[in-house]
Structure 1
Amino acid sequence: MCGIAGMLRLDGATINRSLVEQMTNSLAHRGPDDAGIWSAGVVGFGHRRLAIRGLGPDGHQPMSDPSGKIWVSFNGEIYNDGSLAAELSRDYGLVRRTTCDTEIIPLGYQAWGEDIFSRLEGMFAIALWDSDRQKLLLARDAIGIKPLFVQEDGQAVRFASEIKGILADSSVRRRIDPGKMSEFLALGYTAPDSSLLEDVRQVPPGTLLIHENGRWRSKVFWAPRRSGEIRRLDEATEALGATLQTVVSDMLVSDVPIGVLQSGGVDSSLVSLSLPQDSQVPMFTASFDEASHDESALAGQMAASTRSPHHLIPVERSDNPIEIFRTMAMAYDGQLFDSSGYAFLPLARHVRKSVTVALSGDGADEFLGGYSTYRATRFAAKFGGYVPNVAARSLGRLLWRMRPASEHRLPVTEALARLITALPHGEAAHTRWRRLGPEWATHAIAGSDLKQAISQTDAFSRYRSVMNGSASVTDRALLADQRYHLPGDLLRKTDAMSMAAGLEVRVPFLDRRIMDLAGRMDVPLLMGCISGNKLVARNLLKSLGAPEMVAKGAKQGFNVPVARLLRGPLAPLANRYFSDEVDAFAPLFRPAEIKRLWLDHLACEFNHGYLLWALLVYAVWMNS
């Protein structure tokens, strides 16, 4: 795992190497082991390396083909580089010189052109320069595990693994898009192809962006699909077990130590049980003081059943919680609410002391039906039309105001408020279950431009648009989460926090072989009306001999007690931005209203935790 950055001059000027170096050095945390810069005329690439395979100088990047005409800067891991190398040697006489997976990319481009990217199994963000054709190619892996941001003005195209790499160029305009801010305040993130900044976008997942002859074109090489032709539980279970075992084995390729991020849940337990027997891969578990957030007992049962070394990390007991929050906010570049990053960062830091690579269960919920919201969406699609919107909003507001200052994962009154206010939207309620806070609170803090953006644009429209189609509502809800929520939120969190600690996280459930297989499973195999979620996954877990409490346990999630943290160890930071320096929020926001929300929260009169957390992430980033 690494960090990449670069620039293509559109005005014909020669690349400023020192500027590319500044962009690259801003990503040093992503690659502490090596740095490289290459430039030629109007183009320049930079690379920061986290050495995982081929630890010597052969893995130095940017890297070229033997002719020096094709240059690559690559972040990620390719797991099928061995089979691709054999095919290149057999069919084209192209022989790799190193053991690094990077080398396959320029060689494969020589043989297959743009089709190389659809052949790669792995996670990646790639920049490739074809000097003969004066063509820049930017590619992002199938589901968006690795980020790649792009900015363009009349003078240059800039790209980087994180927004800070682009903003290292002081000439880049920094203007917040009010429409994107309305999305951020509603969902806690922007669309997986955009950002809060007007001129900065992301390469969409599974997409190749090509700049040639002064114009952009795009090519989608993979997207999630659902067909549902597998209808037998035993067939689905057997196929998932065999495929997962193969994928996990492939992902063990490494020249550095590997571990597993083990919660007490189904997904990470399946990863652990798919490891080779007696592999003794260490497990790492985050522990919480709040019982409703803690899964360490179940994780301990899994470690005991596999006889694996087990490490418990008390992620809440930090000597410097404000430093953790600041680091999280800066790693997010202010673009992401996800509060679980506050726990993931110290977990990743601790794991990095023992291993450089960790396997994770991310993505299983979206592909194997792990969320209770799918059943709620079916209910809303069937009965939501009978619920008057005005009455739902009034009752929802009352319930939000009744919400206790609870530190449990989801208090009953909040769950009811979310359910009731979303129901009138029918199947589109699926996009609203995870709303950060009540609509009236967002309106209250919005300045004139933001208020206008909120009134003129639907913050949920992009999310809702990926639910269009003729498939069942559950199929479309699954696809919406796979195409929007997963890359927009969860994968951005995992990448940002792991890279802030110099840790590579691999995700077996997001290998295309697993994703394609899950898409072929009929909905009743994933979730039943009464029998619960992730039926195939739980059936496989049981067959592998997992402890009964793990196989039958309810989904917990990886949450932190946001309300308590803001009132407690993070209160000095929150008080600075929400009271002492609150005027800095103007004119996009109304400072007095933000201060009022903070004081209400601080006095336990209302729990505005989620909305305030998002605003604090944004404030820390903007003020730095």
Structure 2
Amino acid sequence: MCGIVGYWNQSNNLDLKLLKNNLKKMVVTLHHRGPDDTGIWIDSSNGIGLGHKRLSIIDISEAGHQPMVSSDGRFVITYNGEVYNYNYLRSILKKNNHIFKSNSDTEVLLASFQQWGVKDSLKRFNGMFSFAVWDRKKRLLWLARDRIGEKPLYYGVQNNTLFFASELKAIRANAIFEPKIDKNSLALFLRFSYVPAPSSIYRGIKKLLPGNYIVFKEPTDSFNCKTYWSLYDVMIKGIKNPIKSTEKEVCDELENRLRKTISSRMVSDVPLGAFLSGGIDSSTIVALMSLESTYPIKTFTVGFEEKDFNEAHYAKKVAKYLGTDHTELYVSSNEARDIIHKLPFLYDEPFADSSQIPTHLIASLAKKHVTVALTGDGGDELFAGYNRYIIAKRFWTYSRYIPSLLKRKSGEFIESFSTKRLENLYRTIEPIIPSNYKISMPEEKFQKMAWALKASDNYSDIYNRIVSIIQNPDSYLNYRLNENELVNVNNYWKDFKNPILSMIYQDLMTYHPDDILQKVDRASMGVSLETRVPFLDHELIEFIMKIPINQKLKYGQGKSVLKKVLYRHIPESLFNTTKRGFTIPLNQWLKGPLKGWALDHLNEEKLKNDGFFNQDSVLSLWKNHIEGKGNWSHQLWNILMFQTWYDSYK
């Protein structure tokens, strides 16, 4: 795992000293991503420079130094990530007379480009990666990103210069770049808590989409991204050619494939462990890791002193049963809140998924013991584990028969109640609700139900309201925009034939790479820890997408087939509970210990001078929250995270 940077400027007056100084400034900002080694490579005649920060994982010797040049001198690469099938590719390349000087996967990538070209090589790589490759013979620059978006890559053109980097802070460090806020991206951030790709918070800078590459003949070329792996195609193929095996046969095949995937991600020349929350996904990963290892797996979890938000005991039970070398850390509210001032640096562009705090805490804990950690991310999306999939489908199924006026009035009626009253109502009836219908954070679910009732009958509109944090960003902004939408689920309705598959597609294209994977990447790389995600192996995904949805969803609950695999190794009784996930007590914090901090960032004069927000709307939202008229903590957190980020970088 590493950090990559680079820029290309063909101005006649760009001297070598300026090129080198700007490149060094970019590289230095990514020290946390790769503290083990630093490298730069410059072609002054073409005005291009590549930079690299290295976290040594495979072949930790100097032979893995980057940027690296191919044996024939044609290709130069700066690369972030891991290609797990590099030994297999290496054996094929050796048969084609390629000679290797190191055991690094970087050298295998370069030899692959020599043998098959960059485009065809991409289809052969199994792993997580982003890279830039300069083809000296054809004078082309290639940028590429892995299929699911585990590794980040930003790029863009400004002042006749092409910039690219693993994180925005590196681009910002280049003196040629002038950062300007993209107001449309700000609106999207307020709605979803993250900036969805291909946008970034800066005008003119993009995120390369997962499964895509782009080739530049000149630094000012138009952005012509090409797809080398399509999730849409994979899902359509799965629908047309579903697995027809028995459930037991599917479970057997799933377990075998998972074990193979996990085994490939356990290859490391440095200490390795796993995050363990005690939920289905991480427990499955750790259980199967234990089968592949001759020693106890090192596992890590973080708990909170607040009883209502502490779930470390779930992980402890699983760890005890599996006999892992388990480390847990109980964090006080003060310790968790102390991380807030670090968030702008860690996440680099506005990011407001509040689980960013415990994710950083568990990464920091793990780094004290290991350099690589496996995680269970991706299970909810691939195996239909989110409750919202079931809730949204039921809502759409029944609500489409209700007259639009009645639905809208019903939504307004729900909104007339304070969130506290809605929560109290739910707690009153909770004892008689069947277990598979119970929900966490009911006040938030009621808010979103009200928004959904006021939606059109278009399924995409309903789902986007359910996944939104701020439904109408314009109401809090100091300007009006035609807001971009996420992937429109309704466009794929007929193709996917099932609304849950449409929701899964949307999440895997947006929420998963731009929220979940971004959160894990920044939290882990912020402490120089590499995370690996077995569920996101593309060959495994292609298999999972062939499993019929009725084998994933049963009796109103997701992950059915995955649970059956897990229960072969851990008793089902350890999981008979509803987990909240990595949640923090935002509501209480904003009314208590974070109140002063929040008021500093929501100062009326400050909001006015910054010019982004309508101060009257924002302060009214704050007042309603403090007075208990609604739990608007997540909406306020989005605004506060932007303000905190903006103050750090303006």
Q: TM-score, normalised by structure 1?
A: 0.93
Q: Residues of 2 paired with 1:312 and 1:69: CA distance?
A: 49
Alignment of 1:380-399 (within 5 A): 380-389=395-404, 391-399=406-414
Q: In the superposition, relative to structure 1, how do residues 175 and 387 fare at CA in structure 2: closer, same or farther (>3 Å)?
A: farther
1:94 is matched with which residue?
A: 98
Gaps of 5+ in 2: 428-438
How far residue 101 of structure 1 moved from its aligned partner, in angstroms, is 1.1
2:61 match:
56
Asked if the contact 1:392–1:421 (Cα under 8 Å) also holds between the matched residues in 2, the reply is no
Any conservation in 2 of the 1:538–1:552 contact (CA below 8 Å)?
no
Task: Answer yes or no: is 1:133 the counterpart of 2:147.
Answer: no
**Quick one: distance in 2 between partners of 1:375 and 1:320?**
33
What is residue 417 of structure 1 aligned with on the other side? 447
Matching residue of 2:589: 565
Q: CA deviation at 1:123?
A: 0.5
Quick one: which amino acid aligns to residue 578 of structure 1? Answer: L
After superposition, the C-alpha distances for 1:88-142 in whole angstroms (9 at most, x for unaligned) are 111x211221111111111111111121112111100111100111111111100
CA distance in 2, matches of 1:500, 1:130: 31
**Aligned length in residues:** 612
Quick check: 1:258 aligned with 2:280? no
Partner Cα separation in structure 1 for residue 546 and residue 630 of structure 2: 45
Equivalent residue number for residue 492 of structure 1: 518
Q: Distance in 2 between matches of 1:370 and 1:471?
A: 18
Hey, what does 1:163 align to over in structure 2?
A: 168
> Which of 599, 607, 614 is residue 631 of structure 2 equivalent to?
607
C-alpha distance in 2 between matches for 1:425 and 1:467:
18
Residue in 2 that maps onto 1:221: 228
1:476 Cα deviation (Å)?
1.7
SS at match of 1:543: coil
Cα pair 2:150 2:517 within 8 Å, conserved: yes
Q: Does 1:79 align with 2:84?
A: yes
Identity of aligned residues (%): 28
1:557-598 Cα offsets, whole Å, 9 max, x none, are 222222122233333321211127633664221123323322
- 1:432–1:24 Cα change, 3 Å: same
Decide which moves more: 207-216 or 459-468.
Answer: 459-468
Does residue 122 of the first structure (1) align with residue 135 of the second (2)?
A: no
Q: One-letter code of the match for 1:23?
A: M
Q: Secondary structure at 1:19's aligned position in 2?
A: helix
Distance 1:158 1:32, change over 3 A: same
Contact 1:11–1:154 (Cα < 8 Å) also in 2: no
Confirm or deny: 8 A CA contact 1:418 1:433 kept in the other structure: yes
Partner of 1:307: 323
Residue 533 (structure 2) pairs with residue 502 (structure 1)? no
SS across alignment from 1:159: strand
Q: Report how far residue 555 of structure 1 moved.
A: 4.8
CA contact (8 A) 2:489 2:502 kept: no
Q: Partners in 1 of 2:490 and 2:613 — Cα distance?
A: 28
Task: For 2:446, give the aligned amino acid.
Answer: L
Partner residue in 2 for 1:483: 509
Alpha-carbon distance in structure 2 between the residues aligned to 1:89 and 1:71 = 20
RMSD over aligned Cα, in angstroms? 2.3
Distance in 1, Cα, partners of 2:536 & 2:335 = 35
Tell me the SS of whatever aligns to 1:253: coil
Secondary structure (helix, strand or coil) at the match of 1:404 reads: helix
Residue 255 of structure 1 deviates from its aligned partner by: 1.0
CA distance in 2: counterparts of 1:10 and 1:315, whole angstroms: 52
Q: CA deviation at 1:217?
A: 3.1
CA distance in 2, matches of 1:522, 1:513: 17
Structure 1 position 614, deviation (Å): 1.2
- Note the C-alpha offset of 1:461: 4.4
Shift of 1:390: 5.4
Partner residue of 1:321 out of 337, 344, 352: 337
For residues 351-407 of structure 1, the C-alpha deviation after alignment (integer angstroms, 9 at most, x for no partner) is: 101111110000111111111111123223323333455554554355345102979
Whether the aligned pair in 1 keeps the contact of 2:300 and 2:328 (CA below 8 Å) is yes
Q: Return the alpha-carbon distance in structure 1 between the equivalents of residues 288 and 509 of structure 2.
A: 26
Output the CA distance in 2 between the equivalents of 1:328 and 1:336. Answer: 8
Larger displacement relative to structure 2 (424-433 or 490-499): 424-433
**2:552–2:560 CA contact under 8 A, matched in 1:** yes
The corresponding residue for 1:445 is: 476
* Most deviating of 406-415 and 332-341: 406-415
Question: How far apart, CA to CA, are the structure 2 residues paired with 1:523 and 1:182?
Answer: 34
Shift of 1:66: 1.8
1:230 counterpart residue number: 243
- Whole-Å separation in 2 of the counterparts to 1:332 and 1:191: 14
Kindly provide the amino acid, as one letter, of the partner of residue 431 in structure 1: N
Matched, 1:579 2:583: no
Query: Which stretch shifts more, 284-293 or 399-408?
Result: 399-408
Aligned counterparts of 1:466 and 1:56: Cα–Cα separation in 2: 50
Residue 612 of structure 2 aligns with which residue? 588
The alignment status of 1:143 with 2:159, answered yes or no, reads no
Structure 2 counterparts to residues 155-554 of structure 1, below 5 A: 155-213=160-218, 214-224=221-231, 225-226=234-235, 227-228=238-239, 229-231=242-244, 232-275=246-289, 276-319=292-335, 321-322=337-338, 324-389=339-404, 391-400=406-415, 401-404=417-420, 410-423=440-453, 424-426=455-457, 427-428=459-460, 429-439=462-472, 442-447=473-478, 449=479, 452-453=480-481, 456-457=482-483, 459-464=484-489, 467-472=492-497, 473-528=499-554, 530-544=555-569, 546-554=570-578
Amino acid in structure 2 at the alignment position of 1:236: V
Deviation at 1:467, TM superposition (A): 4.2
Q: Distance in 2 between matches of 1:479 and 1:525?
A: 18
Alignment CA distance shift 1:316-1:136 (3 Å):
farther
Letter of the 1:568 partner, please give it.
Answer: G
State the Cα distance separating 1:468 from its structure 2 match: 4.8
- Please state how far the C-alpha of 1:466 moved relative to its aligned partner: 6.5
In structure 2, what is the Cα distance between the partners aligned to 1:334 and 1:80? Answer: 33
Q: Distance in 2 between matches of 1:76 and 1:584?
A: 43
The one-letter amino acid paired with 2:559 is: K
**Corresponding residue number in structure 2 for 1:31:** 34
Instruction: Tell me the CA shift for residue 49 of structure 1.
Output: 1.0
Q: Assess, with a 3 A threshold, how the Cα gap between structure 1 residues 86 and 461 changes in structure 2: closer, same or farther.
A: closer
Instruction: Report the CA distance between 1:333 and its aligned residue.
Output: 2.0
Which amino acid counterpart does residue 271 of structure 2 have in structure 1?
P
